[in-house]
Structure 1
Amino acid sequence: PDLRNPIIISDVSDEFTQSGFGLFEKIVGTGGVVRLIPAPGTAEKSRKFFDEMNDWARAEGHAGLGYVTRKGGEFGGPIAKNHGADKMAVLFDKLGLGPDDGCFFAAGKAEQAAKLAGAARTRVADQLGLIDKDSFELCWIVDFPFYEWDEENKKVEFSHNPFSMPQGGMDALCNQDPLTINAFQYDLVCNGYEIASGSIRNQSPETMVKAFEIVGLSKEDVEERFGGLYRAFQYGAPPHGGMAAGVDRVVMLICGAQNLREITLFPMNQRAEDLLMGAPSPAALKQLRELNVRVVEQTKS
């Protein structure tokens, strides 16, 4: 999160369990969520501002971004009309929103709504000039989930680093719901950018095997795929951890650049091409033979 941004996202799902706005009521009723993103001081903004935010959300692959306008205490927009002005006023008062504040809504499955709400929070703050570009705000992100649910394959998977130590160790792996286990992982974030990341290593062979068994791999699979690490830990290793800093991102923030290519000495373009070195270039037939690689040209349609 960018802590320079004063906008706070709120989960307002409970407000729409019984609502005149049927879409949100249906989403909440089927296990989805509704997140509210304030848009402070937007009374004088035209409908175009709100519609363009909705268009942006759709261009990003989302179903859309609902909104409510407010000027002098009067609500506008289809959500407010159908949900009811009285209910909307209660909601605004509960969240500390004023008579000239608007808001946006991100609704859907929890993960999708969270991604849209987070991106919308950043975009709204940029559009309204709410972020101090000359400040640096740091924070630690901790308690990452160790596992996550893979909806496509209907199974538990590692959410990030399978070799980090689960909080609670072997006891947690044996006795907790996997989706409630957190990992000893941590990120250092500045102005919304990860500038360092690390974890405490899972140095116990038995704990490592148990962690992989939960995602469907056997002890034999672990020995075959990660044998070097597994065998090394058989000789004993003390608890250890670390982190690595992204120096290039730190430089990017100090320079006020928008992306890493602007501060990289010989950057690749968006097609992963190095224009200075003319790379990548076609490999020679001899090189391909040494690698036992055969290239099949695709016919152009």
Structure 2
Amino acid sequence: MIRVEQQRTHFCGEICDPSLVSKRVTLTGWVQNYRDHGGLMFIDLRDRSGLVQLVFDPQTNPAAHEIAKKARHEDVLSVSGIVQNRDPENVNPKMKTGAYEVKIDRIDFLNRSKTPPFQIDQEDVSEEIRLKYRYLDIRRPAMYNNLFMRHRITQTVRRFLDEHGFLEVETPILNRSTPEGARDFLVPSRLSHGKFYALPQSPQIFKQLLMVGGLERYYQIARCFRDEDLRADRQPEFTQIDIEMSFVRQEDVMRLMEQMIARVLEENYDIKISLPIAQITYQEAMEKYGIDRPDLRFGMELVDVTDVVRDSDFAVFKTVAEKGGMIKCLPVPEGDRLSRKDLDDLIAFVGKYGAKGMAWMRVKDGKLESNIVKYFSDSIQQKLLEVTGARENYTLLFVGDVKKKVVYDSMANLRLHLGDRFGLRKKGELKFVWVVDFPLFEWNEEENRYDAVHHPFTAPKLEDMALLETDPLKVRSDAYDLVLNGIELGGGSIRIHDMELQAKIFELLKISREEAREKFGFLLEALEFGAPPHGGLAFGLDRMVMEFQGLSNIRDVIAFPKTQKGTDMMCDSPSEVTPKQLEELGIKVVEYRANK
């Protein structure tokens, strides 16, 4: 084994300074490429800062030249030599160091590499291979840059919160299982057979306890765990920028957090955003976009036409309207680009979201055309043109259903699908919006009871308190989400700190006093000892970095991620454990047979 005997003087990417010409430098790194031109030998040496070209001349240093001929991809080198200008015809403008090279007179192999499964500068590498050899994937400049920017963003957040009086406090990873909306990852206890810890889905309860403890301002770059179905922007273990504040109102939290986001963008991307960030109510978001995290980079807003088409002779729409359902229209500019086959494909597309069909009309010569226009009187057609704002070459797409959720889901995804197809969701454009005034409850038809939209500690709006007795579904909450380009970056709420109100919320959620004490006992007891008004928010750090880096896969901003099946291809986990380990935990594994 060869140890590092030459102390590195510079990083490879630093060999771009004219003042270094004719000076000796010592570099270390990996062999990216090598080229033997018969006489001169060239190696591109790479470290985390970039590449630099090394030159080995047999006329001036035959020993170093002979050693360099043995170099192969990903060998680890230590080299020393003199910086010189490249010949003008050999300058590489694509490289930061492309105007310079280092003429080497000493080379040491610090380690040799097997032939790697892919070249570090190769672009068309399957994600499966990249994840299996993640330590090699991290050597790629793009992957390194993602992790570097994640670090930079985290440091900006820490500085900002420190400047504003926040304390960074760690909360437990092993805790009791409490209902938070997703399945818990459970950890069996060796010392208490038959009992389990749960990994935290969030530090929610503990950060509220810290407010009771008088810290007033807390944050944590917190690891969280949720055993749920995965997708491109979701991982079973993820990181939150978790924040809680005492003696604040909703606006206080939102204003401070948007300042933090603005600082992150300005310091790390030289992007300035206008503050304050605009707000939209939950109800407005659903009515205009069909979703509570709207992408505002383009228009194409939905229009409710239920009342307009109620008296038409089109049986499908009449039936939906009579049964209290909803008919939404999506006006598509330049919709004449959609062929009949395209429209048939869109009917199948909305079917994936529960829609039983999709109707359409085109605007031609100022009039509506389609195979269903005959069922609509001239006055109804004119009203449709007015309420949708449709002009020449527009196409109107309609979905109606008795279940409003089906209409919202179908039209929201149809809007985004067409936005992608027509190139309206432009990369690099940032459209932030706060979504506020979420409902406090939603109705659970299967269990015939109310569910909390966020969690049972979310405070209702003071002006809606009377509705708790008369119409709970109309009660709005002091909850808020920050949305960027259709992605929820983070969300939070003002919490309930009054035990009398908390008891009322539990009653509406059909959580008995005994059940509440069992699930949340230590928090409820803490609220009885002078809990201050408090609220907070949590940003998804992984998702934030993904969006700011302009990526579509959350795994590209995590050093060692899991696949969509929750497996680690590099470590081959999850894995079986030994019988002795199971015996110590008092666990016996039985064959699992899924219900057929």
TM-score for the superposition, normalised by structure 1: 0.92
**What's 2:512 paired with?**
218
Whether contact under 8 Å (2:452, 2:509) holds in the other structure is yes
User: Deviation digits for residues 38-92 of structure 1, max 9, x if unmatched?
Assistant: 1111224311221111111223443233222333335333333433465223311
**What's 2:199 paired with?**
none
Name the SS for the 1:75 alignment partner: strand
- 1:62-211 to 2 correspondences below 5 Å: 62-84=355-377, 87-108=380-401, 109-168=403-462, 171-172=465-466, 175-211=469-505
The structure-2 alpha-carbon separation of the partners of 1:123 and 1:220, relative to structure 1 and needing over 3 Å to count, comes to same
Q: Output the CA distance in 2 between the equivalents of 1:279 and 1:233.
A: 41
Whether contact under 8 Å (1:170, 1:210) holds in the other structure is no
The Cα of 1:272 is off from its aligned counterpart by 1.1
**What's 1:41 paired with?**
334
Q: Output the CA distance in 1 between the equivalents of 2:523 and 2:464.
A: 18
The structure-2 alpha-carbon separation of the partners of 1:217 and 1:77, relative to structure 1 and needing over 3 Å to count, comes to same
1:20 to 301, 310, 313: 313
The code of the aligned residue for 2:414 comes to A
RMSD: 2.2
Matched, 1:245 2:539: yes
The structure-2 alpha-carbon separation of the partners of 1:29 and 1:234, relative to structure 1 and needing over 3 Å to count, comes to same
**What's 1:281 paired with?**
575
Q: Output the CA distance in 1 between the equivalents of 2:396 and 2:583.
A: 61
| Long gaps (5+) in structure 2 | 1-293
- Deviates further, 290-299 or 215-224: 290-299
Whether contact under 8 Å (2:363, 2:394) holds in the other structure is yes
Q: Output the CA distance in 1 between the equivalents of 2:476 and 2:370.
A: 41
Q: Output the CA distance in 2 between the equivalents of 1:217 and 1:299.
A: 33
Name the SS for the 2:317 alignment partner: helix
Q: Output the CA distance in 2 between the equivalents of 1:239 and 1:203.
A: 6
Q: Output the CA distance in 1 between the equivalents of 2:360 and 2:394.
A: 11
The structure-2 alpha-carbon separation of the partners of 1:291 and 1:42, relative to structure 1 and needing over 3 Å to count, comes to same
The code of the aligned residue for 1:215 comes to L
The Cα of 1:264 is off from its aligned counterpart by 2.4
Q: Output the CA distance in 2 between the equivalents of 1:84 and 1:48.
A: 27
Name the SS for the 2:590 alignment partner: coil
| Long gaps (5+) in structure 1 | none
Q: Output the CA distance in 2 between the equivalents of 1:97 and 1:151.
A: 38
**What's 2:277 paired with?**
none
Q: Output the CA distance in 2 between the equivalents of 1:221 and 1:229.
A: 13
Q: Output the CA distance in 2 between the equivalents of 1:61 and 1:270.
A: 24
The structure-2 alpha-carbon separation of the partners of 1:22 and 1:240, relative to structure 1 and needing over 3 Å to count, comes to same
Whether contact under 8 Å (2:441, 2:472) holds in the other structure is yes
Q: Output the CA distance in 1 between the equivalents of 2:328 and 2:356.
A: 14
**What's 1:7 paired with?**
300
User: Deviation digits for residues 165-203 of structure 1, max 9, x if unmatched?
Assistant: 111289436544111111111100010111111111111
Q: Output the CA distance in 2 between the equivalents of 1:143 and 1:90.
A: 31
- Deviates further, 257-266 or 190-199: 257-266
The structure-2 alpha-carbon separation of the partners of 1:298 and 1:239, relative to structure 1 and needing over 3 Å to count, comes to closer
* Residue identity (%): 34
Structure ID, larger Rg: 2
- Count of equivalent residues: 301
Whether contact under 8 Å (1:69, 1:75) holds in the other structure is yes
The Cα of 1:299 is off from its aligned counterpart by 6.3
Name the SS for the 2:329 alignment partner: strand
Q: Output the CA distance in 1 between the equivalents of 2:463 and 2:337.
A: 55
The code of the aligned residue for 2:365 comes to G
Q: Output the CA distance in 1 between the equivalents of 2:373 and 2:559.
A: 51
Q: Output the CA distance in 2 between the equivalents of 1:273 and 1:42.
A: 43
